[in-house]
Structure 1
């Protein structure tokens, strides 16, 4: 489902790019949605059993669709196709013939078993960009092993640095390895599209969750690699900056990050304790880290006398980063978040907006996530299948389509 021209008469950035989304769960669908948001024509292929995230609820927003699924599958046409059958693989061949990009996260060897090895894909469709997303990659000691987001967080060491200092290792509260892998995959595809303009050839874009999670270990990874210092859990505090932590105000929690000496002196001045700015224990960031406990003992009782809105307003006015710690609901209802169009609605679907704001060729949210197989007939017709061929595929159970036949919508 590509996009039309914007208000200025410009096509979106990825207009004319055709993407086949063979992926499920999170990283792949998010990648394909990002491409779709910026104008690519994306067809999502679901097996008859459906993408399992349709069942990941509550909450649900329809008889077979979870809120989870809707967050990563907008702006896509949807075809329900059984790829395990020879007839389904024949349809896949036709879909690949029209695609610029294919995104998949099958278990290692699945495509090859169906007759689509990396070499066969490259030989048959030399301009095709093949984006593969896996848990551990396909080679190395763990190559081919299955992995979800939390497995990648644990394996990479990410969980070991998340949580309170005296607490247990914790999974980050969002599926960060999956989501950043989706972003990396999207970035890799864009790089490959740029390279194709020069070489005329596609290539394999290979991403995996563990590589992503390892890449997110900064600043703990350079601390270990350059100085042998292993990462430790610091709660909301920063391992190399102080003060940089959550604090309790009189009416709730705030986060304050004074990243340099000037910001620190402005902070303590607002708190009515300017002398702390000249205290030799707190003179530099190195000093403040050395005496972090004493520093927070000075700050916490003072911060506790403030209402969070007043304190963060006064600090921000002086250039000191600070904010109330919002709940998810507070953030999504916030006036600034809404002003940035980070909450959108289309056809009854509400979701987060597009974070990359292109001023000349902006992305857009055009269609809600589609029911499974909603566009099967439309997609097959676009491949040149006639009514008899489509009826044969439907009768065999190779494809599924709800409702009555229609050649367009």
Structure 2
């Protein structure tokens, strides 16, 4: 079966995560991607292990062309590539490509079928359009950090660049929607994605809860603020699990399976408001019941009763997990030096589509001297 984006040509002007991650997904769906890098390379290429990890994660199977866009000749090459492309994805500073004559208005005038997607920190229309906008800024200003952390503690960022990744997913959705519209109308389009917008959108349920409760969401640690037990940690004899059993039927099942049926009628635990108010006592009982069991024993015991429970796993444990292996969640990448490494593949399975494996990350400018399109 033909890959969904076979024959689609993508030009990327990307640094770090948001744009490169978006075009990586497009490449995994069969698109040809030419990554335009400045003479110094993608900014992620020179910042140590974190940056090299970004490069390995989001640049497999692309072609790298080094262009100095300050030079008219190189701008002409970029314009020619865009004129023959279906999609542009870029996350340079707002307006940078437009000032060079490579913005969406100029490029779509030359190529009306072009889909042009720009990713910024705060959007292109507000007072922060010109601000530098890395992931941490979006986490902070989206409200995300205000609800993440221990009760009474400092705000915490999510432990990975979640706003960048969310923006990359939004960009891919925009590309696919625009390509579908183009099939119907023949016209491309322009899409704007911001890290701030994506980070706020991730919290839609919290916005709904804010409206219903009329209370500002606050940091509560691992437990969910209005239900219990929900997303609560329980120590086992060899690790940690999280569990949720806050509906009446599941809470009753939990009480029975851990041998504490009396908790069902205890006024401290009779409903969610009571359990939230007495969460410490609730977790003490659950922990005492499960603490002597191994993690896998807990998962089996609770899972057989339809209770949501999961082990807290390290990356090494995740890589070896049976569900991860069975689902083909990880693929094999090849670094610029030929080293092989496990890396997440597409976040979904589509019948007849196998994302290409064993695709190499190019060195900066590896394809500058060759034909840019096959």
TM-score (norm 2): 0.93
Runs (4 or more) in structure 1 with deviation over 6 Å come to none
Q: Does 1:362 align with 2:354?
A: yes
Alpha-carbon separation, structure 2, partners of 1:332 and 1:166: 34
> What's the counterpart of residue 126 of structure 2?
140
User: For the Cα contact (< 8 Å) 2:79–2:102, is it kept in 1?
Assistant: no
> What's the counterpart of residue 85 of structure 1?
71
Superposed counterparts of 1:55-66, under 5 Å: 55-58=46-49, 66=52
User: For the Cα contact (< 8 Å) 2:238–2:294, is it kept in 1?
Assistant: yes
Could you tell me which runs of 5 or more consecutive residues in structure 2 were left unpaired when the two chains were aligned: none
Give 1:76 deviation, angstroms: 0.9
> What's the counterpart of residue 373 of structure 1?
365
Give 1:305 deviation, angstroms: 2.1
> What's the counterpart of residue 319 of structure 1?
306
Give 1:226 deviation, angstroms: 4.1
Per-residue CA deviations over 1:188-224 (Å, capped at 9, x if unaligned) read 1101111111111111111001111111224322232
Per-residue CA deviations over 1:268-311 (Å, capped at 9, x if unaligned) read 22211122123343233344234323322322222222221111
- Secondary structure in 2 matching 1:378: coil
> What's the counterpart of residue 180 of structure 1?
166
Give 1:366 deviation, angstroms: 4.7
Q: Does 1:349 align with 2:344?
A: no
- Secondary structure in 1 matching 2:7: coil
CA 55–248 in structure 1, closer or farther in 2 if over 3 Å, else same? same
> What's the counterpart of residue 14 of structure 1?
5
User: Of residues 314, 321, 339 in structure 2, which corresponds to 1:334?
Assistant: 321
User: For the Cα contact (< 8 Å) 1:129–1:192, is it kept in 2?
Assistant: yes
- Secondary structure in 2 matching 1:358: coil
- Could you tell which deviates more after superposition, 300-309 or 198-207? 300-309
> What's the counterpart of residue 81 of structure 2?
95
Give 1:34 deviation, angstroms: 0.3
Alpha-carbon separation, structure 2, partners of 1:77 and 1:132: 20
Alpha-carbon separation, structure 2, partners of 1:58 and 1:111: 29
User: Of residues 179, 197, 202 in structure 1, which corresponds to 2:183?
Assistant: 197
User: For the Cα contact (< 8 Å) 1:30–1:72, is it kept in 2?
Assistant: yes
Per-residue CA deviations over 1:151-203 (Å, capped at 9, x if unaligned) read 11011110111111121100100100000100010011101111111111111
> What's the counterpart of residue 163 of structure 1?
149
- Secondary structure in 2 matching 1:293: helix
Give 1:88 deviation, angstroms: 0.8
> What's the counterpart of residue 5 of structure 1?
none
- Could you tell which deviates more after superposition, 298-307 or 89-98? 298-307
User: For the Cα contact (< 8 Å) 1:354–1:364, is it kept in 2?
Assistant: no
- Secondary structure in 2 matching 1:379: coil
User: For the Cα contact (< 8 Å) 2:16–2:54, is it kept in 1?
Assistant: no
CA 196–366 in structure 1, closer or farther in 2 if over 3 Å, else same? farther
Alpha-carbon separation, structure 2, partners of 1:366 and 1:377: 24
User: For the Cα contact (< 8 Å) 1:236–1:246, is it kept in 2?
Assistant: yes
User: Of residues 32, 35, 41 in structure 2, which corresponds to 1:44?
Assistant: 35
Alpha-carbon separation, structure 2, partners of 1:259 and 1:23: 44
- Secondary structure in 2 matching 1:75: coil
User: For the Cα contact (< 8 Å) 1:17–1:40, is it kept in 2?
Assistant: yes
User: For the Cα contact (< 8 Å) 2:255–2:261, is it kept in 1?
Assistant: yes
Alpha-carbon separation, structure 2, partners of 1:212 and 1:251: 37
- Could you tell which deviates more after superposition, 364-373 or 157-166? 364-373
> What's the counterpart of residue 263 of structure 1?
250
Per-residue CA deviations over 1:67-112 (Å, capped at 9, x if unaligned) read 3310111121111111221111000111001110000011112112
Per-residue CA deviations over 1:38-70 (Å, capped at 9, x if unaligned) read 1011111111101121123237xxxxx823310
- Secondary structure in 2 matching 1:45: strand
Alpha-carbon separation, structure 1, partners of 2:119 and 2:106: 18
Equivalenced residues, count = 368
TM-score (norm 1): 0.85
Q: Does 1:115 align with 2:101?
A: yes
Q: Does 1:76 align with 2:76?
A: no
- Could you tell which deviates more after superposition, 178-187 or 347-356? 347-356
